[in-house]
Amino acid sequence: MVKRVSVVDVDLCVGCQSCMFACNRRFAEAGLARTAIFVQSTGGFEHGFAVKVCRACREPPCVKVCPTGALTKREGGGVRLDYRKCISCGNCVEGCTIGAIFWDKVLDKPTVCTYCGYCVSYCPYGVIKLEEVEGA
Amino acid sequence: MTEASALSRVLYVDLTNRRYWTEERRELFKECLGGTGVAIRLLMEECKAGTDPLAPENPIIFCVGYLNAVFPLASKTVAMFKSPLTKNLGESHAGGRCGVAIRMAGLGGIVIRGKSESPVYLVVSEDGVRFKDASALWGMSSSSTVGRIIREREAGAGVRAIMRIGRAGENLVSYAGVITETFRHFGRLGLGAVFGSKRLKAIVISGRSSLTLRDPRGYRAVYEELYMNFTKTSLMKKYHELGTPMNVIPLNVANSLPSRNLQRATFEGADALSGEALSEKFLGRRAACSHCPVSCIHIAALRVPYETEPYFYKTKMISYDYEPIYALSSMLDIRSPEGFLQLMDRVEELGLDAMSTGVALAWATECMERGVIGTEETEGLVLKWGDYRTYIEAVERIAGVKGDFYEALGKGVDYVSSIYGGDGFALAYGGNEMPGYHCGLATHLGFLVGARHSHLDNAGYAIDQKLNAEGRKVEPSEVAKMVFEEECWRQVLSSLVVCFFARGVYTPEVVSKCFSVMGINLAPADLKEIGGRILREKYEFKFREGFSFDKLKVPKRVTEIPTPQGLLTEERLREGIKHFEDLLKKDTKGT
C-alpha cells in the first residue's frame, strides 16, 4: 500500500504549525530544522495559510534534476532519498514545483517527506490526512 | 546541534553605533529560567535608576524560555523596558510567531540599546543582524501596510515574526504598542513609544534550528500527554471555541462588566457584542500562535460600504478579544458590533493599546458630559457614548498628537486628569488604565499591587469570579494571600514562556517533568521558590523607580459602583495591600 500525506482542506488550517513540530519530533528533537511539512501564511494571518508537503508525484520533477541518483521514484508515486548518494547540491529544492522539499541546515541535506503520517495525528483540525495513493 | 537545556545566548544590538554581538549567559538562564526571570535581571543591568523612558538609555529587552519551541503553548515572548506610561516597570507579553522565532534563531534574549540616527528596521536571523533603512516606512498610516512591505522584502516566511509599530509609536504616545503577526500585541505600558524613541520601526526575526533532548523517549511521552490535554479535554474549550469574548455575557450577567467609564457595571450592548453573536455574524477566520493547537485568535470579516461611492465595498479582517470589547465597546457604550470593529481596526492600524485608548476616551466622554471639558479642549469634537465615528476621529488625534488635549490624553488618564480635572473617575492603577473586570476585592487589589498593574499579573479577577460563583466571602488577608501565591507562580509560567491560558495544564509537577526530559532537575518546590524570587526582583526595580504601596491611589469611582460582592471600600483595599506587602517582605527575608 502506497501512502501519502494529502491536504484535505487548507481553509481549516489555523497556522499552529503543530505538524511541523511533529515532523521534527520523528528524530526526537524539538524545533523545526528537519521538518518536511511547512505551513506559512499566504500574505499575513488575515489571508489564511498554505500547507506545503510532498504530494507524491507520479513523475517527480525532483528526481529529474538529481544528478547522482540519490532521489529515486517510489513505486506508485513519490520519492526516496539515499543520503549516501546525495551531494547536497540543492537541485531538488529548486526543482520541486510546489516547494515541498526543504533544507536541513544541520545535516546540510534536503528533507523529503517519508509518508509516515506522524504529522497527521497532530493536526487538531483535520487539515491533512494520510491516504492511499489512488491506482498505486 | 544545540541541547534544549543550553539556553544561553543573548543578542545585544546597539542602534546608535549600528553594531551587534552575542554573549553566552548560561548561568543567568539556569538561575532565572528565561522570559520574565531573565528579562528583569537584564533590565536591572541595562536600565539605570531614574532613566527617562524615552531616552536612548532605556533598553528594550525580549526574552524567551526553556519551553519555547519545545512544548506546545510555550508560544510567548516577554518584553521588558521602563514604561513611558507608568514611568516604572514595563513588562509586556505577546504570542504570534515571535516566541518560537527567537528561540529558533538560536537566542534566549535580545537587548536593544541606544537610538538610531534615522528610521531603521532590524532583520535578525541565525546569520546575524542587518540594519535596514526604514525612512520610507515612517509615517505610514497603517501598521498593516508596514507588515506587508516587510513580508515581501525579507526572507523567513512561515518561521518569522514581524514586530512593528504604528504612527502612535512613532509619535511617542505613552500607550502605543508593538504589533506582531498583524493581530498580536506587546500591548499596555507603551513599548511602541520606546521603539519610536529609538527610531526603530520594526524587527523581523526568523529561525529554523533544532534542539536535542537528554531523554528523547521521555520527551515524546511528556509532549504527547500535554498535547492530549490541550486538544482532547475541555480545559481549553473556552479559548478554543468562542475565544476570550466568551467572557462578555457571564461578566455582564454578574454585574462585573464596566460600562460608560464604570458609571455602571452592566453593558446594554452585551448580547450584540458577545462571543456568541460575533462568531455567528462576523467570525471570518481562526488563527493560532506558533506551536499552539488551541487557536484562540478570532478574526472578524467586516464588509464596509464606501459612503461616497456606490457599489464599492471593502472587507476588513479584524481580530477581536474580550479586553478590546470591554474598552472600545462597553466602556464607550458602542452597542453596534460594526461600529466597534471599525474603531478597533483603526486602533490596530495606528498601533495604540486598545485598553488604554478605550479607558482614555471613556474618561474624556464623561468629562464632556459633566462639563469638566468642552469643545474648546477637544477642538470641536463632541464625544458622545456610542458615537464610534467621532471616537475614530479622536484616536486619529491621539495617535497624531494633534493639539494639547490629545497630547495629554495620549499620556494616560492619570496624567490628563491631573491637568484637566476629573481624577475621581480616571480609571488607572499606578498610571496604567484599568482592565475590564469589576468582580470584587481580589480584582482591584490585584490591579493595585500587581507588578505591572495588569489583570494577568496575579489573576485577582479570576479569584473573585471563583469566590463569587461559590458564594464565598473572604477577608482581605486571605484575598491578599491568594493573589500573592498566584502571582508568584505566574512568574514561573512567564519565564518558560508559557501562555497563561495554559496554566491549568502547566502545573508545577508538569513543568518539573518538562525540565526533567531536558536533563534539568527542578522539583515543583524549587520552581515555586524561583517564582517568588523573580517577583521580588521585579518589585526591587519598582521600588527603585519610586513605587510604594503607601502611595497607591484607589480610583474613587471603583468604590462607588457595586461589585458582585457589594461596594468595595478603600479601607478593605488598603488592608489587602498591607497584607500583600507583608507577604512580599516576608518572602524577601526568606522567612
B512 close to B522: Cβ distance less than 8 angstroms: yes
Mean pLDDT across A21-25: 97
- One of 1.10.10.10, 1.10.287.3510, 1.10.599.10, 1.10.150.20 is the CATH number of B433-589, namely 1.10.599.10
In the predicted structure, residue B1 carries a pLDDT above the cut 80: no
In the predicted structure, residue B456 carries a pLDDT above the cut 90: no
- Tell me: the pLDDT tens digits for B24-47? 999 999 999 999 999 999 999 999
B211: chain A residues, CB-CB within 8 Å? 29-31
Taking the CA atoms of residue B186, residue A40, residue A42 and residue B163 in that order, the dihedral angle to the nearest 10 degrees is 20
In the predicted structure, residue A1 carries a pLDDT above the cut 90: no
Q: Is A6 helix (H, G, I), strand (E, B) or coil?
A: strand
What band does A105 get if pLDDT is binned at 50, 70 and 90?
Answer: confident
Structure letter (DSSP) for residue B209 = -
Contact (CB<8Å) A16/B104: no
- Tell me: the pLDDT tens digits for B51-85? 999 999 999 999 999 999 999 999 999 999 999 99
CA distance A75 to chain B (A): 32
What band does A135 get if pLDDT is binned at 50, 70 and 90?
Answer: confident
Structure letter (DSSP) for residue B309 = S
What band does A66 get if pLDDT is binned at 50, 70 and 90?
Answer: very high
User: Which run of H or E residues covers position B474?
Assistant: none
Pairing of strands B200-206, B432-433: unpaired
- Residues of chain B above pLDDT 70, percent: 99
Please, what is the Cα angle at B93 between B90 and B99, to 5 degrees?
A: 130
Contact (CB<8Å) A16/B292: yes
Structure letter (DSSP) for residue B233 = S
Domains in chain B: boundaries: 2-212, 242-427, 433-589
Domains in chain A: boundaries: 3-129
What band does B591 get if pLDDT is binned at 50, 70 and 90?
Answer: very low
A107 vs B: CB within 8 A? no
> How many CB pairs (< 8 A) connect A and B?
113
Which long-range contacts does A48-52 make (Cβ < 8 Å, 24+ apart)?
Answer: A48/A10, A48/A11, A48/A13, A48/B285, A49/A10, A49/A13, A49/A14, A49/A15, A50/A10, A51/A7, A51/A10, A51/A13, A51/A19, A51/A127, A51/A128, A52/A98, A52/A99, A52/A100
CA distance B519 to chain A (A): 14
Cα separation, B189 vs B430, in Å, equals 11
Residues present in chain B in total: 591
Contact (CB<8Å) A18/B291: yes
In the predicted structure, residue A7 carries a pLDDT above the cut 70: yes
Mean pLDDT across B351-376: 98
Mean pLDDT across B558-568: 97
CATH architecture of the domain with range B2-212:
4-Layer Sandwich (3.60)
What fold does the segment set A3-129 form as a domain? Alpha-Beta Plaits (3.30.70)
What pLDDT sits at residue B587?
63
Beta bridge mates, A25: none
CA distance A34 to chain B (A): 7
What pLDDT sits at residue B390?
98
Contact (CB<8Å) B148/A44: yes
- Tell me: the pLDDT tens digits for B188-198? 999 999 999 99
What pLDDT sits at residue B91?
98
Question: What CATH number should be reported for the domain whose range is B242-427?
Answer: 1.10.569.10
| Burial class of residue A129, CB neighbours in 10 A (0-12, 13-18, 19+) | middle
B210: chain A residues, CB-CB within 8 Å? 24, 27, 29-34, 106
Contact (CB<8Å) B182/A105: no
The ipTM of this complex is 0.96
Interface mutation vs chain B, best among A9, A18, A120, A125, most B CBs within 10 Å: A18
Pairing of strands B109-113, B9-14: parallel
B443 close to B464: Cβ distance less than 8 angstroms: yes
Mean pLDDT across B109-120: 98
Mean pLDDT across A13-28: 96
What pLDDT sits at residue B588?
57
Contact (CB<8Å) A43/B148: yes
When CB atoms are compared, the residue of B71, B147, B287 closest to A14 is: B287
CA distance A45 to chain B (A): 7
- Residues of chain B above pLDDT 90, percent: 95
Cβ count within 10 A of residue B263: 17
Contact (CB<8Å) A32/B285: no
User: Which run of H or E residues covers position A22?
Assistant: helix A18-25
